[in-house]
Amino acid sequence: MATQTQVTVNPALERGWLYHVQDWVTTVDHKKIGLMYIAYALIFLVIAGVEAILMRIQLLVPNNNFVSPEVFNRLFTMHGTTMVFFVGMPILFGFGNYLVPLMIGARDMAFPRLNAFSFWVSAFGGLLLYFSYFAGSGLYGAGTAPDVGWFAYAPLTARVFSPGHSTDYWTLSILISGIGNIGTALNIVATTLCMRCPGMKLSRMPLLVWLYLVVSGLVFVTISPLTAAQIMLLIDRYLGGHFFDTQAGGSAVLWMHFFWIFGHPEVYILVLPAFAFANEIIPVFSRKAVFGYPAMVAASIGIGFISLSVWAHHMFTVGMGPGPNAFFTFSTMVISVPTGIKIFNWLATLWGGNIHFTTAMKFAIGFLFQFLVAGLTGIMLSVSPFDWQLAGSYFLVAHFHYVLVGAILFMIFSAFYYWYPKITGRMLSEKLGSWHFWLFLIGFHLTFDFMHIPGILGMPRRIYTYEADRGWAIWNMIVSSGAFFQAVATLIFVWNLVASYFKGEKAGPDPWDAWTLEWSTSSPPPSYNFATIPTVESRRPLWDRKHPEEPDAHYE
């Protein structure tokens, strides 16, 4: 050992920045790829956030003309597409890439080169989408960025209604990033099943890894239909096919089915990683093992399966008839059962625990309450007669943003505060974190609580302005002002990320006194993760290590 600990000059330090660029571009290390996913998602988060702010400025007062209707159409299309495909997916895959091998005691993913390929192909998809701003008008001079909405209903995407190339950029960028997503999902499944360290049985895996396994399984059966639908759209647009061409007997409703067969499970692909973070963070800051591990695993798998049978609740207003309406109302209500099991298990984990209100835990508690409210408005919308009144209104927009922001984004912030010390070796500032949390919480509730009301009053989504006499003005003012609170809070968060990297308190390997394997190695982990491959005997290997007199293995 003595010879190994002698000071050796890191060769990376002696070379220039070009060396580092080459190092990151050619890396196959799962941690670096994970960080690139996260960085790329954060950049797009800021871009799509700016788009949201521009839209909220436009809707701040009635009869506003801050942006033109055409620009507004592009803004909501790009905001939705970016947030789902180039923020949500990459940030969740980024954390998965970083954490899954560490948590199961592996040195890398099962297919490191496929992993790098998947990242770069997804990243290229995002660049392609935004390149449309420069090149979308092509030879036709017909608009720049895509403006067909994030679900791009037919026949709006037909050549006649979308001349130029803006829609092609939309289709191709999603098709390409989908290939990357399937590659990463394949990698996560193969890593989880084939790379676990000795003793890490499936019944001992951290719940985060279980949830990523379910998410990856969902990616295969949901991203693929989207890929198929995009291929069909390309055949229609480039080869003159008739899949969604109503003039030649094609069906516009078929596109809706194909899109939402992807679109609804996609919501669960995004929210299950948020559950995964909660499963790791809530027990650690309650100082208790998670309540009901087997029930949590069963509920996750249950959600995975049921989520495949709810898609047409997005289509109640299409006129599917009483049979399908009743079925999809029922299946949508059924999915709240496993979700409810999860909420009760988290509450039971908190119950009687020694709760530490760190910033990560504050965000996790916020997630619990907000996810519950989002679920309740979800149950309201699952009732098809209720949905007929409010589908396509701001009530719906408020509902799904409550899930995406109130649940998913809150848990992503929580995950940053929890794992940042592991990733960088430095703690994030708790003081700035507190400001971030409270400002974001206030902004979130100002925006998305009050957004339900103009929806009930009849304000449709995607309108670029409204008349003053509708009674929507005050509500839109409140909603828009909340958006600024969120923007300021996000800036504080970004500042915290940057400043703590240089000045943050040193974290050490295990700052939270946690129990999963990633905390057993140094912070940041070496490129090989573990000097010797660990062996585990229970669900909390570090608990066993720290409490040899009372190991978990005796109770499982």
Partner 1 sequence: MSTAVAIPHQPIEEWKLPSRGIVGMACLIIAESAIFIIFVVAYLFYIGKSLTGPTPREVLEIPWFATVCLLSSSITVHFAVQSLRSAKVNLCAAWLAATVLLGGIFIAATAMEWYDLIYHYGLTVRTNLFGTTFYSLVGLHASHVIVGLLMLGLTLIFALMGKVNQHHAERLEVISIYWHFVDAVWVVVFTVVYIVGR
Applying CB under 8 A, which residues contact partner 1?
5, 110-111, 182, 185-187, 189-191, 193-196, 198-199, 216-217, 219-225, 227-229, 231-232, 235-236, 239-243, 248-251, 254, 258, 261, 508-510, 517, 519-522, 526, 530-532, 534-536, 541-542, 545
Residue 199 makes CB contacts below 8 A (sequence gap 6+) with: 535, 536, 537
Cis link prior to 524 (omega < 30° from 0)?
Answer: yes
Q: Using an 8 Å Cβ cutoff, are 208 and 296 in contact?
A: no
Q: What's the min distance (Å) between Cβ of 518 and partner 1?
A: 11
Q: What's the min distance (Å) between Cβ of 249 and partner 1?
A: 5
Pick between residue 214 and residue 364 the one whose CB is nearest to partner 1. 214
Report d(CA 41, CA 46) in Å as an integer.
Answer: 9
Q: What's the min distance (Å) between Cβ of 522 and partner 1?
A: 5
Q: Using an 8 Å Cβ cutoff, are 539 and 293 in contact?
A: yes
- What token pair was written down for 381? 């919308």
CA 247 to mean position of chain CA atoms: 38
Q: What's the min distance (Å) between Cβ of 45 and partner 1?
A: 27
Pick between residue 244 and residue 420 the one whose CB is nearest to partner 1. 244
Q: Considering all CA atoms of the chain, what is the largest pairwise distance in Å, rounded to the nearest integer?
A: 80
Pick between residue 20 and residue 506 the one whose CB is nearest to partner 1. 506
Please count the residues of the chain.
556
Pick between residue 165 and residue 422 the one whose CB is nearest to partner 1. 422
* Token pair 């939270």: residue: 512
Q: What's the min distance (Å) between Cβ of 85 and partner 1?
A: 17
Pick between residue 346 and residue 519 the one whose CB is nearest to partner 1. 519
Pick between residue 177 and residue 345 the one whose CB is nearest to partner 1. 177
Pick between residue 431 and residue 506 the one whose CB is nearest to partner 1. 506
- What token pair was written down for 418? 């929890």
Q: Using an 8 Å Cβ cutoff, are 215 and 303 in contact?
A: no
Phi, psi torsion values for 473, nearest 5 degrees: -60, -50
Q: What's the min distance (Å) between Cβ of 416 and partner 1?
A: 23
Phi, psi torsion values for 465, nearest 5 degrees: -160, 175
Q: What's the min distance (Å) between Cβ of 296 and partner 1?
A: 23
Q: What's the min distance (Å) between Cβ of 227 and partner 1?
A: 6
Report d(CA 475, CA 478) in Å as an integer.
Answer: 5
Pick between residue 199 and residue 324 the one whose CB is nearest to partner 1. 199
* Token pair 């002696």: residue: 14
How many angstroms separate the Cα of 265 from the Cα of each of 215, 259, 309, 355? 9, 11, 9, 33
Q: What's the min distance (Å) between Cβ of 215 and partner 1?
A: 13
Q: Residue 102 in 3-state DSSP?
A: helix
| SS percent in the chain: helix, strand, coil, step 5 | 70, 0, 30
* Token pair 């968060």: residue: 493
Pick between residue 32 and residue 422 the one whose CB is nearest to partner 1. 422
